[in-house]
Amino acid sequence: MLSKTHVLENVLVVDDDPILRAIAERHFQKRGSHNVATANDGVQALGVLDEAQDEPGFLLCDLNMPNMDGIEFLRHLERRKFSGAIAILSGEDDSVVALAESLADAHKLNVVGKLKKPFKAEDLDALIERAKVNDATPAEKTGTVITIQDLKRAISTGQIVAYHQPKIEAGTGNFVGTEALARWLHPEWGIVPPNRFIPLAEQSGFIEQLTDAVVDAALSDVQHWTTHGLSASCSINLSAKVLTNIDFPDEIAAKVDAAGLERRQIILEITESCLLEKQAVPMEILARLRLKGFDLSVDDFGTGHSNIETLRNFPFNELKIDHSFVSVMQEDAFAAESVRSSVELAKQLGLRMVAEGVETQAVCDLIKQMGIDQIQGFFFGKPMPIESLPRWLKGYRIP
């Protein structure tokens, strides 16, 4: 079901095993990559980067190499402000690989995941899909600086839209709803991905207006598919700023009612890290949202610092396991146990359980065995505009 759509023009494979390098190089070439460079250690890789006309869009990197290992190489990539996607390849212990991922994250590098040696082709494909390197816009490629004025204009002229990623009922395989994700359709730059404008909105204090725009776009889409006979829910992400607006429950209830929708159709997702402190205003807002008939989901569960306290202090009825755990659970024992523990906790508390980041059949099968309620990920479908949803539904086949 996974669509191999990303053609990587520039790739760099760094590994001291010549056979593995050859296998990886051939795999990228089969996918259409025209420039696949290889290096047998970090020192040689830095030389390749120095001579390259264009920065690789994807870098596959081993950890245990002579002369310069992968850990040190990651530090040099940070100094160079490397912006391409990075996949870590290793036969080392899971704890070492997890530490490398954490270091890369601390370096603010774009690590899309890890592969266990010997890697499987479908697992590498899943990481390539996750990288979304083809989502680069002309603005990114030319170095155009996006300003808050650009974003304000985008909101006022309706350029902010919702893309929908399908959610599947694990037990039956049936389509049950979507998650609405913000996209910016710029008349010149094309599709601007969220990592290009959401941080800007947060830093400039404009995130509440952006959230309103996404909510309006998502509700319009739900209204459209409801009038065409499709009964499905829609999850919408809320910013932390919304949880300081005491009037938000009344405002969103009025919008949903005006659109002629059932409030139970709308699931409001709040990132766990936004709720680390037990504060009166967010608690009141979330309580009133539940009283008004909205479902509440704690997003990215497992990435915060107070998981059980989050569920104890706030009235959630859905728990969403972060993709960073789900996508690697087949080869990462710690990730698999974290998911399993979360499932047990959710069952004890009577919460609906959603797993995001399902990208392969193997992970899909594991998720089903654990008794998780709903699934989403590239294995089923990528985020898509509302116009593409009917076509996806027509072609969807239960795995």
Report the CATH number at residue 182: 3.20.20.450
Domain for residue 3, yes or no? Answer: no
277-285, long-range: CB < 8 A, 24+ apart: 278/309, 278/313, 281/243, 281/244, 281/246, 282/243, 282/244, 282/314, 283/313, 283/314, 284/246, 285/242, 285/243, 285/245, 285/246, 285/248, 285/249
Report the pLDDT value the prediction gives residue 2, as an integer from 0 to 100: 37
Q: Is 144 helix (H, G, I), strand (E, B) or coil?
A: coil
Return the higher-pLDDT residue of 263 and 82.
Answer: 263
Q: Tens of pLDDT along 266-288?
A: 999 987 666 655 678 888 999 99
Whether the CB-CB separation of 234 and 164 falls below 8 Å is answered with yes
Domain for residue 128, yes or no? Answer: yes
Number of structural domains the chain divides into = 2
**Least confident stretch, 295-304, 314-323, 325-334, 367-376:** 295-304
Nearest of 378, 383, 396 to residue 126 by alpha carbon: 378
Whether the CB-CB separation of 168 and 175 falls below 8 Å is answered with yes
Domain extent at residue 31: 10-135
46 lies in the same domain as 85: yes
Query: Mean pLDDT across the stretch 200-212?
Result: 90
Place of tokens 């099968």: 365
Domain for residue 4, yes or no? Answer: no
Q: Tens of pLDDT along 289-323?
A: 999 999 999 887 765 544 676 677 788 999 998 88
CA atoms of 158 and 187, how far apart (whole Å)? 11
Place of tokens 């929708």: 261
Whether the CB-CB separation of 184 and 159 falls below 8 Å is answered with yes
Nearest of 255, 260, 253 to residue 289 by alpha carbon: 253
Return the higher-pLDDT residue of 237 and 271.
Answer: 237
Q: What is the CA radius of gyration of the chain?
A: 22
Domain for residue 61, yes or no? Answer: yes
Q: Tell me: pLDDT of 371 over 70.
A: yes
CA atoms of 360 and 129, how far apart (whole Å)? 11
Model pTM score: 0.72
Domain for residue 1, yes or no? Answer: no
323 lies in the same domain as 241: yes
Q: Tell me: pLDDT of 185 over 60.
A: yes
Tokens coding 371 = 């008794």
Query: Mean pLDDT across the stretch 151-163?
Result: 94
Domain C-terminal end among 109, 135, 161: 135
85 lies in the same domain as 168: no
85 lies in the same domain as 52: yes
Domain C-terminal end among 89, 111, 135: 135
81 lies in the same domain as 217: no
Whether the CB-CB separation of 100 and 71 falls below 8 Å is answered with yes
Domain C-terminal end among 92, 110, 135: 135
Q: Tens of pLDDT along 79-107?
A: 888 888 899 988 887 778 878 888 887 88
276 lies in the same domain as 217: yes
114 lies in the same domain as 19: yes
Domain for residue 106, yes or no? Answer: yes
CA atoms of 31 and 36, how far apart (whole Å)? 11
Domain for residue 303, yes or no? Answer: yes
The CATH number that applies at residue 88 is 3.40.50.2300
Q: Tell me: pLDDT of 28 over 80.
A: yes
Domain for residue 377, yes or no? Answer: yes
